[in-house]
Amino acid sequence: MELKDLGQLLQISLPQDGISRWKGILEEVIPGSIVIQGANVSNGKDIQEFIKKVQLIYDDIGIPDSRKPLIGITHEGGWISRIHDISNSPGNMALAATGSTEYTYSTYRAMGQELSSLGIDWNLAPTVDLNTNPENPIIGVRSFGDNPAEVSKHAKAACKGLRDAGLLACAKHFPGHGDTQRDSHLELPAVNKKLTEMSRTDLVPYVDLIKDGVDSIMISHIFYPDIGGDSKPIPASLSERVVGRLLRSQMGFDGLVVTDSLSMSAVAENFPAEQATKMAIKAGVDILECAKPEYYMEIFHSLQDSVKSREISANRIEKSLERFNSLKNILSVRKSSYFPWPKSILENVTSASVNASITILGKGKLDVGAIKKAGSLNSVFFTRSRLLEEEFSARKTSPVTEIIKSWGHETHTNLVLPRNLPEERIRENVQLLSSKLNAGDFLAVFLNDSTAYSQSGIEVPPQIRFINELFPYFGNRLIAIGTGTPYEASLLPGDMPYISAYSFEQPSLSAAIGVLSGAIPPLGRVPVRI
C-alpha cells in the first residue's frame, strides 16, 4: 500500500461551479468513486457529458484504468430522482403499496438498466429504513414501510433488480434512520431504541440482505445510545461499537461499508475532519463519502497524515482496499454478463408499477361519476420540501394543471402553496377559492407530508388546517391527494376521500388523477400503520 492509494477510499462529489477545479482535485486525490449530484445533472445527456469530462481528465493525467473511479449516483426514484428522462421508480413506499415484490424487482431492474447504459456503476440505493415515525422529515416515502418482513422482501428485490441490471447496490442507512424526528443533514439525531428492539425491527432487513450477499452498506449519522454505549453523542458512522462490533462482528458483514456524506451537519458541525476521518476508519468503515471539496480535501490529507504517523495501520487500509477492489471485480463480471431489456419493456414496467400503487384511504366515498359531470376539477398543490419551496412558489402554473386537462377535465384555478402556510395565508386562500369556484366545481388538494413538516408548537399542521377551513365550503367536492406519506389521512374530516400517490413526480400525479377520472383502478394498499 502506498500513500497515493488512499484516495481510493474516498467517494467524492465534484464542485458544481464549473470544471476549472476538477483536474487539480482528481490529480491529487485520485478518488475511488465519484458521486454525481443533482446539481450536476438533470437528464441522461448531462450524465454522459459529466462522465466524458472526467474520463478526459484522467486520460490527460495518465491514470490507468485500474484506478479510474467508479461512477455513483443516489437515484432512488420518487423523491430522490436525479434524472428525469429515464424509466423511474415511483419510490419505495409506492412500490410496497403495490403489494408485489415483482413490481419492486422489475422497476429497479428497469431503472438500473438505464442508469447502467448512461455509464453509472454504483447506485447508492435502496433505502431500507423502516419508517416508524410519522414525523420523520427525511425518510418518509423513501422507505418500503414499517413492517420488517415486508421491507426486507422489497429490499432484496430492489437489490436483485440493480444487480441484474449490471449495477452495484448500497443498502442504507444502517442501523436505521426511520424513527427520527430530525434530519441528519442539519443536525445529529438521537434514537433511544434498545438493541433488543432493533433486532426485531430495523436490523431485520440488514440481516436478510447480508445473507443475500448485499454489495455495500451505508452507515447513518444517527446516535443510538443503547447500541453505541458511548459517553457522548457519536454518530453510528464514527462508532466502532456500531460498525465494528454490531455490523461486522455480531451480524457478520465483511463487505464494503460506506459513510453517509461526512459533510452533513450531523458530523461536520460536531467533529473536525481529522477526527471524523480517524474515527470512521478505526470504527471499521471502508469508504469515506463527502460532497464538499473543502471538507473532503481535509479528510484526504488527514488520512495521509494518520497513515504516515502510523496512527492508522497500513494493514487496516489494505483491508479496505481489498474490499473495494473486490467490489470492482464483482462489477466487471456483472456488467459483462447482464442482458438488456427492450425499451418497450422499460416503459411498461414503470407505468405498471405507478398505476398499481395508487391507494384510497379513509371512509370518504370517491364519486367518480360526479367528478366527470362537474363543471371543473381544480387544484391546490403544496410544495414538498424546504429545497423546492422557492422554486414551486415562484411558478405561475401548478404542476398538475396540464395533467388535469390531459384527463379531459376543465380547470379554472390551480394554486401552488408552501407546505407551512402561515395562518393569514390560509384564510386568504380559502376565501379566494370559495369566491372563484362555482357550485358543482371539484377541488383536489395535493398534500405532502403534512405531519412531517408541521411547525413546532402547532398541533394541527398548516395543510390540515387549510383542509379543515375549506371543507365547509366544498364538502364532498373536496378531495385530498397525498404526494408523500399517507399518515395525514387520519387527520382529515371523516367523510372526505383521500388518495395516496406517494410521489409528486408527474407519472404518479397523472395516475392519481386517472383514479379520479375512473380510468385507473386504485389497487394499492397502504404499507404503514395509519
Which residues lie below 8 Å from residue 3, measured CB to CB, with a gap of 6+?
A: 304, 307, 308
Per-residue b or e along 176-206, where b marks 16 or more CB atoms closer than 10 Å to that residue's CB: bbbbbebbbeeebbebebeeeebbebbbbbb
Please give the Cα distance from 104 to 98 (Å, whole number): 9
Per-residue b or e along 386-412, where b marks 16 or more CB atoms closer than 10 Å to that residue's CB: eeebeebeeeeebbbbebbeebebebe
Parallel/antiparallel/unpaired status of strands 377-382 and 478-482: unpaired
Catalytic-role residue among 5, 46, 185, 305: 185
Q: Tell me if residue 185 is catalytic.
A: yes
Give CA separation, 284 vs 255, 349, 373, in Å: 11, 39, 63
Q: Which of 316, 173, 170 is nearest to 255 (CA)?
A: 170
Catalytic-role residue among 179, 208, 260, 449: 260
First to last CA, the chain: 53
Please give the Cα distance from 255 to 278 (Å, whole number): 20
Q: Which residue has the cell 443536525?
A: 187
- The 3-state DSSP composition of the chain as helix, strand, coil percent (nearest 5) reads 45, 10, 40
Please give the Cα distance from 159 to 186 (Å, whole number): 29
Q: Which residue has the cell 460536531?
A: 270
Q: Tell me if residue 260 is catalytic.
A: yes
* Catalytic residue annotation: 185, 260
